Amino acid sequence: MKNLEQKTIQFLDEINKNTLKILKSGNMLPNLIRNFLIDKIASDIYLEKDIYETEIKNFYSKNNILNKKDLDNILKIKGNTEEELHYQITLPLKILEFSKQKFQAEIESYFLERKDFLDEYTFNIIRLKNKDLAYELYFRIDSEESDFLKLSETYSYYSSLYPKGLFGPKNLQGMNTLIVNKLIHASLNDLIQPFQVDEWWIILKLINKKKAKLDKPTRNMLLIEIFNKYINNLVKNFTDDYLKNGNQ
């Protein structure tokens, strides 16, 4: 860590002062530091030759790079050398490998911390702007006088976002906190009373909840999440320290 900090400060000290001034004024310094840190971290990670070559072959296959002419075309479009392209292709693997080495011990507790947002939910939803109408529809659904589909198609705003008044199965990442809390604490088939989210009145019914498992894809995804938090913290600390020490 200390060595990484020293390399970062040395890197910044070697930048032309006018260039550094432009980077600061454009708020580009944090991104520059982030890229530098990732590059230094990746440079210490070794990939087995077969893994390295397979990743490049897969990229070539997905992008229809079948010969040297195809490769030259994509290098021209990207403005890269072949070596730079290979670096970009294999960088995610190196980041994942670094994350496995550094954060593996944290993954179980982090999974439990994130689990509610990783579980996949399927639910009915109606969005309205009128509170009284929301309660009227709620009671019609609750008494089985009408069903969600019919009422959603007739009354729900932006019903195209939720075809047939249905969402999922998907996780709750990025959803409004109030909706997330209602669903997390609901039992299957619960019809949730109307509640307000900004200018909307929402009616929900939880249909299904599929619990997340710490399988390989989920484990890898969470490792990358932890890595990004780690890098963001380093970037903030290094940027703050560098500016605090008179490098304004």
Strand 166-170 to 120-128 pairing: antiparallel
Contact 172, 210 (CB under 8 A): no
CA distance 166 to 179: 14
Omega before residue 169 within 30° of 0, cis: yes
DSSP labels, 154-182: HH-TTGGGSGGGEEEEE--TTS-HHHHHH
φ/ψ of residue 93, rounded to 5: -65, -40
- Give pTM, 2 decimals: 0.79
- Digit-by-digit pLDDT tens for the chain (248 residues) are 567 778 888 888 888 888 888 888 888 889 999 999 999 999 999 999 999 999 999 999 999 999 999 999 999 999 999 999 999 999 999 999 999 999 999 999 999 999 988 999 999 999 999 999 999 999 999 998 988 888 988 888 876 677 778 888 999 988 899 999 999 999 999 999 999 999 999 999 999 999 999 999 999 999 999 999 999 999 988 888 777 765 55
Maximal C-alpha separation, the chain: 74
